[in-house]
Structure 1
Amino acid sequence: MHLLLTRPDPSPDSWPEPDALEAGLVGHGHTVTRAPLLTVQLAGAMPRLAGVQALIVTSRNALRAVAPIPEAALALPLLAVGPATSALARRLGFRTVIEGPGDGRGLADVIAASLAASGGDLVHLAGDTLAFDLASALAPLDFRVRTEQVYRTEPAPTLPAAAAEALRHGSLDGVVLMSPRTAKVYVRLVTEAGLAAATGKPLHFCLSEAVTAALAPLGTARTAVARAPNSQEMLALIAREAPDSA
């Protein structure tokens, strides 16, 4: 299959961590065209940790933003949203990593079951856009969550040339969308480029139902949703759909 991968490029440019999703797609024989719809800007500083009992991370970008990780942070428990973030945390040296199911609501349940509210503050290393408000979700249980913005994302001003060309010529079999915000940017940019009708051909592989919902303005976009919101399940979804979409 010819797939359009819309997630941000790894950043900063010197970051050695490969894109496991892209590598997995290529390894399964797919042709991947990269067309990032968001650019990640990293803050590059770990916030103060006095009185903190644990860190929360809901994106690998947050770990990239604060690397290299100071020893004081590595000694704290880290609660990660899903397997990809957990794996990166372990590679960076965190000694206690507690893995969530891949979404914010599920991670809130894991936090409540794993920690005591009386143990100290929690620091959520986050971006400028929150898919799920952990602080509000955990407040009724008396947890104090301090949300620290360590990176931000900027939408592409126009549809990347690679995406526009592939849509215009009908060469795409699928579009990989990993977040609701990315899907919203995709909808806006294809519409502004006059290519909304062309999105009816490729199958849109969505990380979650929220991603699918963000595509609703396109009307005719075909969608398939991963069984769980992580890269492994996205690869499995594409593998299941590939015979029918080739």
Structure 2
Amino acid sequence: MDTIINWLNENSGLILHYGIQAVIALVIFLLGGRVAKFCSNLTEKAFDKKKVDKAVGSFVSSIVYAIVFMATILMALSQIGIETTSFIAILGAAGLAVGLALQGSLSNFASGVLIILLRPFKSGDYVEAGGKAGTVKKIEIFSTEFRTPDNKVIIMPNSAIMSGPIVNFSRESTRRIDLVIGVGYDADLRKAKEVLKSVLDKEPRLLKDPAYTVAVSELADSSVNFVVRPWVNSGDYWPTYFDLMENIKISLDEADITIPFPQMDVHFHKQD
């Protein structure tokens, strides 16, 4: 007993020093846990405010919590004199290994977060992305589901979507129909132009503002080409497009204006 008391008296300063360090480390650990929770909740609220998918917000907030809490543990261990360099090296190596093993999935996840944050499209939009076109049905963390006009379902990785151009056909409320109509060189251009305008004037789905355009665009090899560019509401694009193509052909036929098509003349020479 006397030995223990003597040892305590001789090392009282050292015991006091490490005791204080232990208390400080415990305080750091407890406060760090609260800070990690606070940062996690703040991240989740920020995602909710941006109207981001809850699964993404929860996942990212959990990552934030893990990072802050791990930093707190390293700070607490360092406070009591434990060398943390080896721990950091091990964590770094483990993180690198996991990152290399899951680089494809992590790329899809990061692209999914960007899609939700930047909102280049939303569910219900008709878009062209990653070499495919269709209506967006579902946006998930790793992939996006499209449905094509012929009712095929396409599951596309988010990284493939974000790696190239995205064309959103539904973002704007109006669209322009671009038609190229060719007539023969023997046709009366003024008459042909009036026929095209009359077809457009009879179509009730066309918008008055902006006004349509009918103009000669090219003197091609076998035809004089008109550009016909009316504006419609986005939802009326395809029905109007199909009807205009049909009505233009019928009206040009009624006006005896020919639409050139590829032809080949074959000449036979008789030899004795």
TM-score clears 0.5: no
Which structure: greater helix fraction? 2
Q: Which protein, 1 or 2, shows the higher relative CO under an 8 Å CA cutoff with sep ≥ 6?
A: 1
Q: TM-score, normalised by structure 2?
A: 0.20
